[in-house]
Amino acid sequence: MIFPDGTEALQNITFELRRGEFVTIVGPSGCGKSTLLKIASGLLQPTNGTVEVDRERLGYVFQDATLLPWRTVSKNVELLAELHGIGVQERKKLVKESIELVDLEGFENHYPKSLSGGMKMRCSLARSLTLKPPVFLFDEPFGAVDEITREHLNEETQLLFKQEGFAGLFITHSISEAVFMSTKVLVMSARPGKIVAEFNIPFEYPRKPELRFDAAFAEMCGKVSVELRGSHS
């Protein structure tokens, strides 16, 4: 991917993502992670190469929740189903299910301005879940929330992944977040972005919060960290 101003953001990136896989890309900021996701989603066209993604019902969670402030939680969750022309009856059912999946029951009639950062993100997740997406893209979605909320959201995301069985592609710069949720972690180098290392994460799902204090977990994070540092220099 080369931008019109000559910046080369991505170079020779090849990988495959199957259903039942949760791949996370970690990399330093400005390495082109978000660009990669924009290309995968079709928001950007690559200058070179091909991307094959089933974009019919794409799940996509942005860096911020991008909730429409004039819609209540349940109306926000309903939006994508509306855009895809799903009938009202079916829509209501999907909305209810999705809101249950992210534990937002009781907040259906709240407007986004009265929600916390974590709840906004959950609402945003629920919105994508209504489509039962086969592919789910996450663009550093939990970067803006506090550490405790972030860990909760990580736990919930991997549970959702296990339940719904989508193919997940997650972008982050947090190593522990990456290792905790993923089946596979890819390490990306800074400009032009290249994939420099690949780790399969063997831990069983559903993963418990205690996993974070496991020696094997720490060792895995250490390995990723070494590669990440190597890519940075």
Partner 1 sequence: MNTLSKKQESSATVLSQPSRIRKYTSSFLPPLILGAGVLGVWYYISYGLLEEKRRFLLRPIHSVIEIGFLNGDNRTESLQALWSSTEVALIGLSIAIGLGFVLAILMSQAKFLERAIFPYMVTLQAIPILAIVPLISFWFGTGQRSRVVVCVIIALFPIIVNTLFGLQSAERGMHDLFTLHHANRLTRLRKLMFPAALPAIFAGLRISAGLSVIGAVVGDFFFGKGEAGIGQMLKKHANRLNGEELLSCVILSSALGVLVFWIFGVIQNKAVGRWHEANSAG
- The residue ranges that bind partner 1 (CB under 8 A) are 41-43, 55, 58, 60, 62-64, 66, 68-71, 79-80, 82-84, 111-113
Q: How far is the CB of 173 from partner 1 (least distance, A)?
A: 19
Return the number of the residue (18 or 113) whose C-beta is nearest partner 1: 113
Q: Which is nearer to partner 1, 17 or 190 (CB)?
A: 17
Least distance from partner 1 to the Cβ atom of residue 203, Å: 31
125 Cβ contact list (under 8 Å, min separation 6): 61, 102, 141, 156, 157, 160
As to burial, measured by CB atoms within 10 angstroms (0-12 exposed, 13-18 middle, 19+ buried), residue 151 is: middle
Q: What is the separation of C-alpha 168 from the centre of its chain, rounded to a whole number of angstroms?
A: 7
Q: Which is nearer to partner 1, 131 or 185 (CB)?
A: 131
Q: In DSSP terms, which residues pair with 58 in a beta bridge?
A: 135
DSSP 121-140: HHHHHHHHHTT--SEEEEES
Identify which of residues 55 and 93 has a Cβ nearer to partner 1 in the complex: 55
* Smallest separation, CB 153 to partner 1 (Å): 18
Closest separation in Å from C-beta 215 to partner 1: 40
